[in-house]
Amino acid sequence: MATRSELKAQLRAMLGLSSDDPLASDVVLNPILNWAYQGVVAEIADLAPDALWASGTIALTALSGSTVAGVYQIRSLRDTDAEGTDLVRVPRSELPMASNAYALTGVEAPFTVRVSADVTTSTLYYDYTQAAGGSDLIADSTVPALVPTRFHDVIALEALFSAELGGEQTRPAALRQRHQDRKAQLFAYLVRVAGPGTASRTRMVVGQGEWP
């Protein structure tokens, strides 16, 4: 298990820089590591969404409510309870004419959920794929919880190459190969353990807008 502090140490070692070097300061590396973490989690959400499966409830007021912030993709929405009737996703413009339906708005979580007028429950139950938040790695003691412990080094490698720290063309070929190999091992592990998952019938993904 690696904390943000340990990931920074890994990254500095790969860069060959010390913590007192301006290019490897906390101010520089903290946001880069968080960005790399978000990127790795987003790839997991695309390739093995069941590994990031979660469920929750949405409180409705006047036929509207909000998801939690850590949502990458809404997968299903039900009334009554977790085994209740599956609501149908429709475009926002069609919601007034629909029955037993809902629409989602917003370009990033928390998404706003609106339901058709015939939905009488005050609580909705939903399944979703988790997302990494913008400030998930908020402290040096924070652990990147959405990536398996044995693959935490992938985050440091992702930061090194995706951010092109120090000019990625100067990195040893063996290090680049390690980056590629470790990412491939991570996704192979998750697909083996959790499966590739199923496509969301809602088609609502962070950054996608109201309706594709």
Tell me the two tokens of residue 193.
């353990």
The ranges assigned to domains in the chain are 4-50+132-194, 52-130
Average pLDDT over residues 195-204: 57
pLDDT attached to residue 74: 92
Average pLDDT over residues 3-31: 93
Tell me the two tokens of residue 161.
């190459």
Q: For 38-60, how does the pLDDT look when each residue is reduced to its tens digit (9 = 90+)?
A: 999 999 999 999 999 999 999 99
Whether the per-residue pLDDT at 200 is higher than 70: the answer is no
Q: For 71-115, how does the pLDDT look when each residue is reduced to its tens digit (9 = 90+)?
A: 999 999 999 888 889 999 999 999 999 999 999 999 989 999 999
Looking at the chain, the whole-number percentage of residues with pLDDT higher than 70 is 89
pTM of the shown model: 0.85
pLDDT attached to residue 152: 97
Residue 60 near residue 79 (C-beta atoms within 8 A) = no
| CATH number attached to the domain at 52-130 | 2.60.40
Residue 204 near residue 128 (C-beta atoms within 8 A) = no
Rounded Cα gap, residues 76 and 129, in angstroms: 10
Work out the mean pLDDT of the chain and round it to a whole number. Answer: 88
pLDDT band at 131 (very low <50, low <70, confident <90, very high): very high
Whether the per-residue pLDDT at 125 is higher than 50: the answer is yes
> Within 10 A of 50 (CB to CB), how many other CB atoms are there?
15
